[in-house]
Amino acid sequence: MGREFGSCLVVDDDEDILTAASLLLRQLFERVLTASVPEAALALAAETKPDVVLLDANFARGATDAAEGLALLRRFLEEDPDCAIVMITAHAGVAVAVEAMRHGATDFVSKPWSNERLLTIVRTAAALRRSRRSAGVAPRLQATSKPAASPLIGSSPAMARVHSLIGRTAPTEANVLILGENGTGKELAARALHQQSRRAKGPMVTVDLGAITAELIDSELFGHVKGAFTDARADRMGRIEAANGGTLFLDEIGNLPLHLQPKLLTALEQRRVTPVGSNRAVPVDIRVVAATNLSAAMLKDERRFFGRTCCSGSTRSNSNCRRCASVPRTCRSCLTTSSPIMRSATAARCLR
């Protein structure tokens, strides 16, 4: 039976970590490559273009500042801006994790990890890498001194309305709900909102609620303290806290279990999160952008969605059939930004 993804690169100076990660990740990848030094890791990445890079934050014995890991992270992204990188941090590496995500890491995992959690994180990162490759879109999480160009392409009347709405909404602090069918570019609209906002220099943390099991969502969003449950062997920061100072993107918000929705709503309204197993609330400064393929009518169904919504404004991502005028420009972008193989495949999809 074939694996879900092609290859993964694990970079760590600890041979035990390399062995454990390799054995575990073979469930997802056809090939799991390993490297114990930065130079070998960069060479392997350039040669194989892995779906995910699992990167240790520290290499030198006794180092805790993650300087080497962050420098290598930047080099990976310079060579391949589309790279999906999951940082490996120490059990108390909250600050390192946040800094890594500010510099473009897709996610992070703390040592010692839960196998189920690591598989979930890496699977989500690989799926994101695949979707970016398909769309010909590179991540733009890094802070820049100049406003980033919008990842949305198109000049049709429907797209013009989307650009206008994003332009008016992005500078505000309003939470936003994006509605649209699958494949209409909801994530790209969320990234455009973040890039054009006052929080552009902060992290944009994405949580795909459709890819996380119901049992893990509570810990993923709010974090947990050591001993909170069986596999909680160390404190872990949740995604909401990781987005502090930036934007929290809740993708597929309609998949959030009903029993967790009041807790999420309370945390977002009060801008405070309480990790699982803790009595101490942590203040956060975030803006929330959420997306779903559910219709507005379905969101009002109290059997699926809690009565109040976390977002104060909404926009609809237009279906592709309403953006025919944008096809030529989309094709031109594909032809200039993608690899030769991707140029042919993506342009063919645009012309269907």
Beta bridge partners of 247: 204, 287
Q: How many CB atoms lie within 10 A of CB 295?
A: 13
Dist. CA 84–CA 77, nearest whole Å: 9
Res 334 pLDDT > 50? no
Helix count and strand count (H, E) for the chain? 13, 14
User: 224-249: per-residue pLDDT in tens?
Assistant: 888 888 777 778 888 898 898 999 99
Res 317 pLDDT > 60? no
User: 83-121: per-residue pLDDT in tens?
Assistant: 889 988 875 566 777 778 777 888 888 888 888 888 888
Q: Between these two residues, 301 and 52, which has the higher pLDDT value?
A: 52
For residues 169-192, give the mean pLDDT: 86
Listed in sequence order, the DSSP H helices in the chain are 15-25, 38-48, 67-79, 94-102, 115-135, 157-169, 186-195, 214-222, 239-242, 261-270, 296-299, 327-337, 340-350
Per the CB < 8 A criterion, the answer to whether 66 and 100 are in contact is: yes
For strand 204-208 and strand 176-179, is the pairing parallel, antiparallel, or unpaired?
unpaired
For residues 119-144, give the mean pLDDT: 64
Q: Between these two residues, 59 and 286, which has the higher pLDDT value?
A: 286
For residues 69-73, give the mean pLDDT: 91
Dist. CA 276–CA 295, nearest whole Å: 32
Res 221 pLDDT > 70? yes
pLDDT at 267: 86
pLDDT at 43: 93
Q: Which domains does the chain have, with CATH numbers?
A: 5-133 (3.40.50.2300), 157-318 (3.40.50.300), 324-352 (no CATH)
For residues 197-209, give the mean pLDDT: 89
